[in-house]
């Protein structure tokens, strides 16, 4: 697959095409990785998110260059993408545990039903 710069049509990269068995392999690996990730304590996962946040900001110039080259975006708009990813990582590093916590909500008929 050819990847071209939108403004110039210049060839940026050539990517290999995957076969159906590649997708199956990737899916199975991702499933195993997700189970291992879910088994980690939240504090360990939060450290990964915080480190990723820091790496994104440390290497933002690289990311901005790639976003501009591949997507043809203005630098300002490319920075919005980088900033969004960094912000989401930081948010979930600090608030993800609460988002993952099970909570019960009252059901349609209070005292008789509840929603988890």
For 27-48, write each residue's pLDDT tens digit: 999 999 999 999 999 999 999 9
Indicate the average pLDDT of the chain. 91
Q: What are residue 107's phi and psi, to 5 degrees?
A: -85, -170
Residue 110's pLDDT is: 65
56 and 80 belong to one structural domain? yes
For residue 109, pLDDT beyond 70: no
CA 46 distance to own-chain centroid: 14
Question: In terms of domains, do 51 and 79 share one?
Answer: yes
Q: Does residue 56 lie in a domain region?
A: yes
| 96: in domain | yes
Which residue segment(s) compose the domain that 54 sits in?
41-100
Whether residue 109 is contained in a domain is answered as: no
pLDDT reported for residue 102: 82
Mean predicted confidence (pLDDT) in 49-64? 97
The residues, ordered by sequence, that sit 6+ positions from 57 with a Cβ below 8 Å of its Cβ are 82, 86
User: Do both 96 and 49 map to the same domain?
Assistant: yes
For the chain, what percent of residues have pLDDT higher than 70?
Answer: 90
> Is the separation of the CB atoms in 11 and 2 below 8 Å?
yes
Residue 73 lies in a domain: yes
Encoded tokens for 52: 């990723």
Q: Quote the pLDDT of residue 7.
A: 84
**Is the residue at 65 inside a domain?**
yes
């Amino acid at each position: 697959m050819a990847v071209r710069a939108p403004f110039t049509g210049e060839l940026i990269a050539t990517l290999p095409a995957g076969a159906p068995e590649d997708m199956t392999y990737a899916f199975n690996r991702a499933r195993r990785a997700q189970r291992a990730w879910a088994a980690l304590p939240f504090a360990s996962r939060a450290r990964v998110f915080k480190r990723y946040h820091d790496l994104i900001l440390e290497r933002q110039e690289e990311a901005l260059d790639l976003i501009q080259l591949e997507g043809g975006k203005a630098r300002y708009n490319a920075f919005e993408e980088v900033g969004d990813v960094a912000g989401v990582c930081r948010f979930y590093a600090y608030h993800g545990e609460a988002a993952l916590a099970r909570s019960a909500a009252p059901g349609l008929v209070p005292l008789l039903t509840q929603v988890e």
